[in-house]
Amino acid sequence: MMPLCDGFEVCRRLRGNPAMGGVRILMLTARGGGAEAERGLALGADAYVTKPFSNKELVAKVRDLLPAAP
């Protein structure tokens, strides 16, 4: 857990800031319930990965979020 606010709040703040519009958000969390994932995605997260996770899964999600190389 983060000390001052949770990842949902960070996501909400990033999505509420027009200067951060191009930022991709991958939430990596121990909160694995379906309701939490729905909430994160509804707040604007681009992907949601729960712990424990496989390295292959995480790498695949990150690759999906990165812009394609020219």
Q: Give the pLDDT confidence score for residue 33 in this predicted structure.
A: 78
pLDDT in tens, the chain (70 residues): 778 899 999 999 999 999 998 999 999 988 777 899 999 999 999 999 999 999 999 999 999 999 876 7
Extract the tokens encoding 11: 């996501």
Are the beta carbons of 28 and 51 closer than 8 angstroms? yes
Superfamily of domain 7-65: Response regulator (3.40.50.2300)
Reduced to 3 states (helix: H, G, I; strand: E, B; else coil), residue 24 is: coil
- Angstrom CA distances, 37 to 25, 59, 67, stand at 13, 19, 23
Domain spans of the chain?
7-65
Torsional sign, CA 7, 24, 16, 48: negative
Extract the tokens encoding 56: 């292959």
Are the beta carbons of 14 and 20 closer than 8 angstroms? yes
